[in-house]
Amino acid sequence: MNLLHQVQKVFLTQDSKEFYKKIGIYTGVIVFLILTTLYYYYTKKNSLYAALKRVNKERQEVQYLLKKYKTVLEQKEAVNTMLEEEKNFKIQSFFDSVVEQLQLKPQQKQDAQVSEEILYRRYTEIKLTAQFKQINTQELCELLRSIEEKKRVYIKDLAITKTKGAALDISLTIATLKSQSETKAR
């Protein structure tokens, strides 16, 4: 109670002008503190929200990269399995048998040329390039279908030139992979 009497005594002894001046100062200080606190709160909130958005974007990028990495590992495993299944695969023999089966040997300009290229120190890509003259679209489609049926072989490049009538001249490059360890063993 004593404290209440002292506060009452201070207010009653003050001049009204002086009293309003002090109340204004106290009110101003309180408003300033509230505004400063609100400014700090909203600034910090916006800063944290921006950081959260940045972290979320980076998280999505990491998820995408991990998904892509998992896909690459699965593909690598599939390729390794395929290479293990047919260790003695020869692209030249495969291509010659397809050409013989489709009776395209007369249209072949010259024997197919084989070249090798090392990829990523893990695999060797073996490419076979062949040229055909005066074949029709149906023969070309059958040749491409026969090549695509063999999972181990893929079409690397195909250049088609139209000649007289419905005949086509084509340059075809197909390829397959071989494990580097297989190449070193030979």
Amino acid at 95: F
The token duo for 92 is 């030249």
Task: Give the global pTM.
Answer: 0.62
| Distance in angstroms (rounded) separating the CA atoms of residues 46 and 49 | 5
Mention every residue, 6+ apart, whose C-beta is less than 8 A from residue 131: 108, 109, 110, 169, 170, 171, 172
Which residue bears the tokens 């593909």?
Answer: 75
Mean pLDDT by 10 residues, the chain (186 residues): 73 75 89 96 96 97 97 90 86 91 87 85 88 89 92 91 84 88 52
| pLDDT > 70 in the chain, percent | 94
pLDDT at res. 182: 54
| Concatenated DSSP letters of 53-83 | HHHHHHHHHHHHHHHHHHHHHHHHHHHHHHH
Mention every residue, 6+ apart, whose C-beta is less than 8 A from residue 176: 89, 91, 125, 126, 152, 153, 154
Helix (H, G, I), strand (E, B) or coil at 39: helix
Q: Each residue of 33-77: pLDDT tens digit?
A: 999 999 999 999 999 999 999 999 999 999 999 999 999 999 989
CATH number of 89-185: 3.30.70.60
pLDDT at res. 181: 65
